Structure 1
């Protein structure tokens, strides 16, 4: 066989392997991580890790991209368009029920950090999730974690899914507009949107999932949420990169718990807080307790998430979910040669 023929065959083989592996990328291409709303405080570790230079310290080139809802980012991961997603851990369980193996390799939040808000106009007759019947409730997107949690909170108060409507309204300004325009009477959102609505007086807190106490009361246990998840097969074939990503985020979690909200705010882009930096600092202070200290999965958390999803999702309840395949702490400590 001639040298030129061997070269052509080798090139053809490489092309075939790239086609068979959806996440195949050029050696110098950055890892792409999609974030389900990059300016949400629950996902702050993504931008903060970049700002602190921890990706670079690990020798990684990382490109952060943003999608308004976690379900959209999840679809990009399954398609192989991105290597990782910063989104809610519960997607790993939901996707396993559909035959997809996704695992969280770094966990940022031990509670959802979400808040079910009720518009001030609707508040007199909407005092708990038991009053959700006949209401339209906002979620970031259908199939998102906000839908999972909203349905569970309503079901726990005896309100069936058929008795209320869900409307995807995104987050931030689009959520605020939906509240003000009375397109939704309540809805689930995060900081800093929560603090903005409270300051303007357009909405009140109905269910608070920013704290362990509030989450335990509403859900019955810790609910690990914001995390970095990847395809299991990608992590298995790229253990060095997976380990570097996990360790970079673990350093960020330690940083969050050793610095003030004011110090952390100095590292985020100005457009995260706009003209009201003080409000952002207040929102961040209210959120700091929800973050893990070491990026590890909280003990008992996966079981709580499975319980929530199985309550109203027949495809989850009917499957023998293997929680050990939905997360791992192994990459946080293991160093590859």
Structure 2
């Protein structure tokens, strides 16, 4: 009980520190059973998964799998928790608070340099799903990442994937990481507020924040990485991002459970590939649309191209991620990364079969 209380307290603290949208998202996670009948009856095998922002479209498969009842069908009682940034989901995983994390694959490489062996077991995407947005007040000053020098650039959190990608775009375009100021502003209303107040000149975020910024005419898209082509243009190849990743030791000692999780998530990815954005939006918690379901469905539609249909790691994806991280991260630049230890296709291949 003490451990459960501590986990709940940590999750609640993270939510209070961010936005009302994220708070609503976590509420939806805990009430999904009464809304859709998709949550287990408590008799299934318990698994806790921390998500780097349940309301973010890039991590949509986590909640959608629960809403579709696929966890329950596999005999799993999955508790979805939410943190505002992927790096906080990573922290929850390596500290043993949760058994899995839904966040960016690039954390597995970063953690390996720190002696933590973590692997992606289901790869949700082959593009980042991220967008660099420039404040309408600064569109004349920032016309490409070459103009990042001296600017305040919004990210979800220090050490997050938005931090990684922002640094890469800067370095790739001749700007040193010391030449601009990263500002942790989260996502959703806090990101939007930072744009409005001038706390940031530009920033990297995802849908539905992107859709809301555009709808409010607060910013313009500078770099769009929501599609495989966008990833190719900005990063030079496929960039596997959102995924279910877990500590390898836990995976090896709980293969039956991991297989059930892979089965559920692959079914969701397949379902997504055959349904429209409106149909997907209909399955999600009502709070996620913030009263504008049309805009929310549009946000989903813009991000759908990033998702895989089978959960398999895209060819050459790990190499692209390593190249990106080595461009600015001294820990990884000077380290030998064993990419084969950062992901496995064992479970998704069985799920597809």
TM-score normalized by the length of structure 2:
0.86
Task: Report deviation, 1:320.
Answer: 1.1
Alignment counterpart, residue 206 of structure 2, candidates 177, 190, 207: 190
Q: Which residue of 1 aligns with 2:28?
A: none
- Matching residue of 1:126: 142
Q: Out of 259, 270, 284, which is 2:286 matched to?
A: 270
- In structure 2, the residue corresponding to 1:104 is in which secondary structure? strand
How far the C-alpha of 1:318 sits from its partner, in A, is 1.4
Structure 1 match to 2:310: 294
Q: Quick check: which has more Rg, 1 or 2?
A: 1
Work out which of the residue numbers 229, 239, 244 in structure 1 matches 2:245.
229
Whether the 8 Å contact between 1:152 and 1:311 is mirrored in structure 2 is: yes
Give the whole-Å Cα distance in 1 for the aligned partners of 2:97 and 2:43.
Answer: 16
Task: Find the partner of 2:221 among 200, 205, 208.
Answer: 205
Match of residue 168, structure 1, among 184, 203, 208: 184
Contact 1:103–1:232 at 8 Å: present in 2 too? yes
User: Contact 2:135/2:195 (CA < 8 Å) preserved in 1?
Assistant: yes
Alignment equivalent of 1:281, drawn from 297, 305, 310: 297
Cα shift at 1:286: 1.1
1:64 Cα offset (Å): 0.2
CA contact (8 A) 1:114 1:208 kept: yes
Displacement after TM superposition at 1:27 (Å): 9.4
* Runs (4+) off by over 6 Å: 26-29
TM-superposed deviation, 1:332: 1.6
SS in structure 1 at match of 2:312? coil
Could you tell me which runs of 5 or more consecutive residues in structure 2 were left unpaired when the two chains were aligned: 1-41
Residue 334 of structure 1 deviates from its aligned partner by 3.7
Distance in 1, Cα, partners of 2:307 & 2:228: 10
Q: Distance in 1 between matches of 2:349 and 2:226?
A: 28
What are the superposed Cα offsets for residues 148-188 of structure 1, whole Å, 9 maximum, x if unpaired?
00000011110001110000000111000000000000000
Instruction: State the match for 2:172 in structure 1.
Output: 156
Query: Which of these residues, 257, 270, 282, is aligned with residue 273 of structure 2?
Result: 257
- SS class of match (2:127): coil
Query: Structure 1 CA distance, aligned partners of 2:271 and 2:250?
Result: 28
| Residues 90 and 101, structure 2, Cα contact 8 Å, conserved in 1 | yes
| Match among 206, 210, 232 for residue 216 of structure 1 | 232
Instruction: State the number of aligned residues.
Output: 310
Quote how far apart the aligned CAs of 1:99 are: 0.7
Unaligned runs of 5+ in 1: 1-25
Confirm or deny: 8 A CA contact 1:49 1:249 kept in the other structure: yes
Say if 1:108 and 1:226, in contact at 8 Å, map to a contact too: yes
Q: Is the 8 A contact 1:137 1:167 kept in 2?
A: yes
For residues 32 and 121 of structure 1, what CA distance do their matches in structure 2 show?
Answer: 42
**TM-superposition CA deviations, 1:99-153 (whole Å, max 9, x none):** 1000000011110000000000011111111001110000000000000000000
Q: Distance in 1 between matches of 2:69 and 2:146?
A: 46
> Which of these residues, 65, 78, 81, is aligned with residue 62 of structure 1?
78
The residue number in structure 2 matching 1:15 is none
Q: 2:258 aligns with which of 242, 261, 277?
A: 242
Distance 1:135 1:313 in 2: 20
Whole-angstrom distance in 2 between the partners of 1:274 and 1:283: 12
SS of equivalent to 1:106 = strand
Q: CA RMSD in A?
A: 1.3
Q: Is the 8 A contact 1:247 1:333 kept in 2?
A: no
Any conservation in 1 of the 2:59–2:242 contact (CA below 8 Å)?
A: yes
